[in-house]
Structure 1
């Protein structure tokens, strides 16, 4: 077989160019179910960073509860309980339940004035020191230098029902005396119960962070809704109701008895 010899006079053919794409030719839509061949690079844009999870919804007033509201509520609770205990203790002496009950025979009463400041104004309080002799109901206790600090003035030789509450703090007298009758006992117990309403307000403020004032960041409606999720609202209602009913009953008994 003879070897093929190229024709030296034949011109070389130019390389064929690929056909230009027709911009007016419609391309078929891609098949979403077609899988790329094995080993082929992934199609499409590279995956970007994943979107963060949405933040959990915050509870009403959860992030806005200030520390100041809780501190104010705790302060209200402490102060109200102290004054409530004081009035209740005085009420027990006024009712004759504690101390030594007896009668004070008045010799004379002297007036005294005490000046104090309230709401930016100075006021004067008038009271009386009534001197006399105290004799207990059983006759075992007698004090000839008894002094009764009272807002009412008694006449000489008038007998007043009193209770010896204990040793006096002042050095000018030996014992302290409290007028013992239903009216004074009712007023003291009414004050003790009324301060429980302030305790209920303190519990509400301490639990929700709400307090009356411009600096409070929690509205009353948010605080009231937040109090329904636990035992705050029942506790506030029960304590406030006990204070209101107890104060009303104490005043009525004080006037009726």
Structure 2
């Protein structure tokens, strides 16, 4: 029986990842069961007045923005860069995580103002860190969306029981949301796969100890880690 690929990101991201997984992973069955949904937040578009660039740490921010054609978009990774390009911005890609993006920006020393458009829940305060690395650069920050928590309907956990289940987790909050679902700790065939060590550390020890970590903090790294886990069950890299 093919294993299940449990996708818990918001619906658009889960569907996109399911398409990528279908062409790269060993045979599996996707099960999309979101644990969050992205909701637009009101904000004053004047925050972008005079901006020389925008900082994007998630593709989820892009649909919430006003039209910004031709604006340089400093993007955390390839998925965010593709979303920015589709919206008419000029993407500059970072190295896949916030630390690499900060290093890219520090090396480029762009002119400001720069605006960080982000979600309510920040894994790292880029504006604060960039202010220390690039003194004198004008930086602004605006929350344009919120990833609001969802709980599973009661039929999800029973559907996992008795199956080999692989669950890609892309943030510490996603790991916490998965662990909070009633009955999930009883799914003995569950293998979470974490985007980072911080993500794995957010899981209870019983799950964290069987959680592989992606070699690079991006979709490609996650797919490679999933492929390895599916091909060699019971190992943690």
Normalised by the length of structure 2, the TM-score is: 0.21
Q: Looking at both structures, which has the greater relative contact order when contacts are Cα pairs under 8 Å and sequence separation is at least 6?
A: 1
Which has the higher Rg, Structure 1 or Structure 2?
1
Q: TM-score, normalised by structure 1?
A: 0.20
